[in-house]
Structure 1
Amino acid sequence: MTGYDRPALIAAARQSIRKGSKSFAAASRLFDRTTRERVWLLYAWCRACDDIADEQEHGRAMVHGPIGTRLAPENRLATIRTLTELAMAGEKTGAPAFDALGLLMREVALTRVMVEDVLAGFALDADDWRPRSEADMLRYCYHVAGAVGVMMAAVMGVPADDEDTLDRACDLGIAFQLGNIVRDVWEDDAQGRCYLPVEWLVEADIPPGEVTKPHYRKALVPLVARACALAREYEASARVGAARLTFRQRWAVLSAANIYGAIARKVERLGPHAWDHRVSTGKAEKAGLVLAALGEARRGPVPAPNPTLSRSGLVAAAR
């Protein structure tokens, strides 16, 4: 017995994914019940960490109190670390999303290293870190999304010694995050952040802090195309790994790949108008992408190599 109220934690996690991500919620319905519930538990912890780090509520801005009452980034990170440490130790935290991680770690083969690699991404943001090179950007993508992909693969039963499949699960997370980076250029800039490499901006003659200025939009478009090309490379690798999963798992993963890949493709296609409004996919479009994934799940994947900078290289850089 774990001492956790599993049904209550599952219900809270399900509500979290419904509020926080319509895309992941849609894809998660394709899993078998046990995997689906575990995916919700993992999502709930990731979402809670994101919300604490950014002082948000399911990705949306919170109403703050008087000036001076907001926690400093390092204090938010300390909160995330403390609650996560308690969860990994099997202690009740009083926070359902962190208890969800505690329960999950007692049901599947998640490791402390997997969790710490995700926490390292929050540490980068707390330090106001910026990627200087393409490798730096990919390292960031690894921590905030690729490492989550590794945890997701473990939740789906991929053994710890299946390094290539774990690498390719990581690749899908990296592809997702590259899509987020190009979609959210304006939103990140409003928060004083930019995840496009400094070296890319210098090559395009875009001064630091001016990436969203109207007269630099045309110069920004080739950089977005470059990031989207990287995303396609990582996504193609991930599809090879997905073929090794059970059918329902494969369908769910390919559906998520289609939905998130569509967002990056829209941003690239819109060019300088990509940030006139937030790019998303509607219900009908999602349904079509899920249906397309069904056909893809029944066929073998197109062969694709691992990207030049894969999980092992990114982990080495992080260490």
Structure 2
Amino acid sequence: MSHDELLAHAERSIAVGSKSFATASRLFDPHTRRSAVLLYAWCRHCDDVIDGQEAGHGAVVIAVEEAQRRLAELRRQTDVALSAGELHDPAFGALRDVARRHGFDPHEPFDLLEGFDQDVRGQRYRSLDDLLGYCYHVAGVVGLMMARVMGVREAAVLDRACDLGLAMQLTNIARDIVEDAGVQRCYLPEEWLQARGIAPGQVAAPEQREALARIAGDLIAAAEPYYASAEAGLAALPWRSAWAVATAARVYRGIGLKVRARGRHAWDVRCSTGKAEKLLAVASGLWLALSARWRRDRPRDPGLWQRPRRDASTARPDAPAVARAAAR
């Protein structure tokens, strides 16, 4: 598949899959935007395959054996994409293009798939710290890969990129509590459910909405220091990348604030942002990106969850053979 065909596929993917990210992606310079959209297409494809959905919509319950088969195939094709094997799916062609162009850590695509493995296994999370580990796998690592697309290599700046992924995923979880329960998934910390007297199987019960709203509010509050940490890293990005990132963060943070403000009615209609709100986020993002150049850098809060640190020469023991070879 030619570069133009790959990009056309990726453009269709982001236009249908996420209007929020589509809006923010237009603010990148053309070179960065191309790679960001290609990376999104691979992430979106993997998510859709595991959830049995299309462009992020209409998730269904999939038998564990079938989900495991799908995950194994995603791992196999990702392995091929990071090597020189023949590809037939444009989503994996997109990953190969971006990984080669920007020198990805070969662990990171497999870290994302590990998050999907946790979904397939129906893993539960005892504490917020446990949940943040999951958030790293399905969103924080995407922040790392996106940061590499923007030219980031410094560990401290990568930490900030991961923080934004964590914040966005906490927002997603709060917004989608009832929807996730409909496909037999619950990401809420068990400690929080027990404290509110909610049994795991009763999360979506109407009589639990008041207690559920308090838990959602706690998730939104937990996301705030991660949004703040990510904002503090904007100055290290090229200004148009900073603008795009700040806009995406403002859109997502706004969704979280809506969830909290709606209380027990947060799940009556899916919380989203309208055109006017997106335009406001674009303007606010521009101000944040520009003003970050003159703000004093704040050290990252040592109390925040810390992403895994690895020696780049050490491959994951569970990664496929080609990826292990690429890491050496």
Pairwise same-fold verdict (TM > 0.5): yes
Equivalent residue runs for 1:293-304 within 5 Å: 293-300=285-292, 303=298
Contact in 1 for aligned 2:59/2:183 (Cα 8 Å): no
Equivalent residue runs for 1:164-179 within 5 Å: 164-179=156-171
Structure 1 Cα separation of the partners of residues 260 and 225 of structure 2 = 15
Structure 2 Cα separation of the partners of residues 177 and 49 of structure 1 = 16
Structure 2 Cα separation of the partners of residues 153 and 244 of structure 1 = 10
1:109 to 58, 82, 103: 103
Alignment CA distance shift 1:288-1:306 (3 Å): same
- Is 1:35 paired with 2:32? yes
| Deviation digits for residues 104-144 of structure 1 (CA, Å, limit 9, x no counterpart) | 11111212111121111011111111111111110111100
Deviation at 1:223, TM superposition (A): 1.3
1:156 to 146, 150, 155: 150
Correspondence for 1:308: 303
Correspondence for 1:270: 262
Correspondence for 1:82: 76
Q: What SS does the corresponding residue of 2:236 show, helix, strand or coil?
A: coil
The amino acid across from 2:196 in the alignment is A
1:234 to 226, 241, 248: 226
2:249 to 251, 254, 257: 257
RMSD: 2.3
The amino acid across from 2:147 in the alignment is A
Structure 2 Cα separation of the partners of residues 202 and 150 of structure 1 = 33
Structure 2 Cα separation of the partners of residues 24 and 56 of structure 1 = 18
- Is 1:8 paired with 2:5? yes
Structure 2 Cα separation of the partners of residues 17 and 90 of structure 1 = 26
Correspondence for 1:202: 194
Deviation at 1:310, TM superposition (A): 2.9
The amino acid across from 2:93 in the alignment is D
| Deviation digits for residues 184-216 of structure 1 (CA, Å, limit 9, x no counterpart) | 011100000111101110011111210121111
Structure 1 Cα separation of the partners of residues 60 and 269 of structure 2 = 23
Deviation at 1:285, TM superposition (A): 1.0
Deviation at 1:62, TM superposition (A): 7.6
Deviation at 1:275, TM superposition (A): 0.7
The amino acid across from 1:111 in the alignment is D
Correspondence for 1:224: 216
Name whichever of 87-96 and 134-143 sits farther off. 87-96
Name whichever of 80-89 and 54-63 sits farther off. 54-63
| Deviation digits for residues 232-282 of structure 1 (CA, Å, limit 9, x no counterpart) | 110000011122101100000000000011000100011111011100001
The amino acid across from 1:28 in the alignment is S
Please list every run of 5 or more consecutive structure 2 residues that lacks an aligned counterpart in the other structure. Answer: 311-315, 318-328
Contact in 2 for aligned 1:142/1:311 (Cα 8 Å): no
The amino acid across from 1:183 in the alignment is R
Contact in 2 for aligned 1:139/1:314 (Cα 8 Å): no
Alignment CA distance shift 1:307-1:279 (3 Å): farther
- Is 1:26 paired with 2:19? no
Correspondence for 1:280: 272
Percentage of pairs with the same residue = 46
Correspondence for 2:179: 187
Correspondence for 2:120: 126
Q: TM-score, normalised by structure 1?
A: 0.92
Correspondence for 1:46: 43
- Is 1:59 paired with 2:51? no
2:284 to 292, 295, 303: 292
Contact in 2 for aligned 1:234/1:307 (Cα 8 Å): no
| Deviation digits for residues 131-182 of structure 1 (CA, Å, limit 9, x no counterpart) | 11111110111100001000000111001xx111001100000000000000
Please list every run of 5 or more consecutive structure 1 residues that lacks an aligned counterpart in the other structure. Answer: none
The amino acid across from 1:116 in the alignment is F
Q: TM-score, normalised by structure 2?
A: 0.89
Alignment CA distance shift 1:230-1:307 (3 Å): farther
